[in-house]
Structure 1
Amino acid sequence: MLKIFQSNFGNISYYDMNSNSNNCLLLIHGLSCSKEIFHYLINNLYSNFRILSIDLLGHGESENSKNKKQSYSISGFADSIIELLADLKIKNLNIYGWSIGGNIALEILDKYNFIQNVILDGYSPCSYIEKNFDKVFIFNEATPLIGKNNLTKNEAKFYVSNGGLKSNSYQNEFKVDKIVENVLRADGEMREYWYKSVMNLEGISPKECVEKHRKKIKILIGEEDPGIQLNYLKENFDDISIFFKNVGHAVFWDKPEEVKKIIYTFFNVIFYI
């Protein structure tokens, strides 16, 4: 069911499916995308979970923020989601965060007391303390687009393609086109403010957060991810990481059935047919 929550900085659009379930799963999308990107997981999980899938402020059907400097950051996005979780009185929550959604998930994990477990997809936890971005990420042709205000349609298509969001046996070309529309809809100032906040190392340090909550976290990484240094994960988080061959930046997009099984297993939820 589509709902609207009035946060301090603007209305947030979100799906709330199977609200009677005690097992709640929060899905957090990546930069410039929307809640619709999780359509396959939503359709295949909602019978066993309460699904919350949110459009971040400045994305999808949510409003652009009324205070962009404060809310367009990892901490700001997390705080607006925590507002919603508190309003809904969510007490038993698992999180699946993709790309920067994984970064946001860690911020929520560190601030909200009712998190059971977290899966990070396409996100590698860097250290703000060590300032080790160059060891964690690969900077490529798409990197300048993540912080750019105005994107052309061709740039949006390249951004989506570089993220590994291409048509496959689970996702058709129409779904890919919708993601391109999402990127073009996203508030360009959001990208600018978010990028500045990351460069200023605002919020919790991801690596140290994962080390603190290690038993609660699983990391899913495509071996063809164009933006992540695999060796860093193998050296630091091999025990909690799962690597997928022939997969790019979004494991849930290319391997949804495998991801579904991991979700049920890691979140300790029995799958009822």
Structure 2
Amino acid sequence: MTLIMPTVESDNASLSYMDRAGEGMPILFLHGSGFSKEVFSQQFESEELAGHRLIAVDLPGHGASPDAADPKATYSYAGFAAAVTGFIREIGLERCVVVGWSLGGHVAYEMLDAVPEVAGVLTFGAPPAVGGPLGIVRSLHISRNLLLISKGRFSKLDAERFELACLGGMRRGEFVDALLRTDEKMRPLLSRSVMSISGGGQKERLEASRTPVCILQGRHDPIARTGYVQTLSWPALFEGRAVIFEESGHAPFVDAQERFDRLVRRFCDAVASGQTGHAGNDMLPLSLAV
């Protein structure tokens, strides 16, 4: 595996990323809040995804990417999406599938139909909700873990607790330093931005989208509500429903890696071939097909 880890300057931000060559549809991975591109290292070693070009980027204020020059403008779903859009164009991606975890999934939603290079979006742990406090209550579990999402400076104990909630105890301690490194302005500003969203929010955006979207959810996710995700349906939703991994938590790409990688490959193949509609009666049940 040949892996390069450069930094790209665009009009919006300077972003660090890792890039592995491949002939198939490029896949761009976006990490969750406080984490870094390295969280997807297992996907870069996956046999299932060996034929695809794989790219993972550190969002502004995360990992090896510098903190935002204009935090108020950048630390929002739309601000992160603008930085990623600039990155996509700077490295010359003409068509790609964006795979987003948690915060990364919400950033991906912002690019639907607005960024023609994005041919499809697959998310997990990122329930698209209506705007404001009502959307948060309906789509997320209210808990001590959720309170950490808006906290500025993390203690080491905060970082360990948040990592445990997000990764379910797998790869324990690997991302504590990344969580501590995250720009302390990011979480409070992002939370305020999310609370200020009004109207139909990302749910309305997805329901109107023509871009194929696959939504994956772990049954035992301690952050995102599985019941809410199961109510979602719109024409461009891959096979007409959310995919539920029964044994997974917030990070199915880690706790069910092989099955996750198969789903990513299958969705990418469907996007590349234009076969992303609802499942018919002649198709395998999703639990058997992925």
Correspondent of 1:38 among 21, 37, 40: 40
Give the RMSD, CA atoms, in angstroms.
Answer: 2.2
Structure having the larger proportion of residues in helix: 1
TM-score of the aligned structures, taking structure 1 as reference length: 0.89
Cα distance, 1:247–1:36 mapped onto 2, change above 3 Å: same
- Residue 231 of structure 1 is matched in structure 2 by 227
Runs of 4+ aligned structure 1 residues displaced above 6 Å come to: none
Deviations 1:139-183 (CA, angstroms, capped at 9, x unpaired): 11111111111111011111111113422xxxxxxx432211110
Distance 2:199 2:181 in 1: 26
Deviates more, 1:53-62 or 1:244-253: 244-253
CA offset at residue 131 of structure 1?
4.0
- Residue 27 of structure 2 is matched in structure 1 by 25
- Residue 102 of structure 2 is matched in structure 1 by 99
Deviations 1:63-87 (CA, angstroms, capped at 9, x unpaired): 0111111111111111011111111
Q: Percent identity?
A: 26
Contact 2:133 2:195 in 1 (8 A): no
Cα distance, 1:141–1:129 mapped onto 2, change above 3 Å: closer
Cα distance, 1:7–1:165 mapped onto 2, change above 3 Å: farther
Deviations 1:14-49 (CA, angstroms, capped at 9, x unpaired): 01210x635110000000000000000112166311
- Letter aligned with residue 251 of structure 1: P
Contact 1:10 1:64 in 2 (8 A): no
- Residue 260 of structure 1 is matched in structure 2 by 261
Structure 1: tracts of 5 or more residues without a match: 168-174
TM-score of the aligned structures, taking structure 2 as reference length: 0.84
Correspondent of 1:184 among 180, 183, 196: 180
Contact 1:107 1:203 in 2 (8 A): no
Q: How many pairs does the alignment contain?
A: 262
1:106-255 equivalences in 2 (<5 Å): 106-128=109-131, 131-167=134-170, 175-201=171-197, 205-213=201-209, 216-237=212-233, 239-255=240-256
Q: Secondary structure at the match of 2:172?
A: helix
Greater RCO structure (CA 8 Å; 6+ sep): 1
- Residue 275 of structure 2 is matched in structure 1 by none
- Letter aligned with residue 86 of structure 2: E
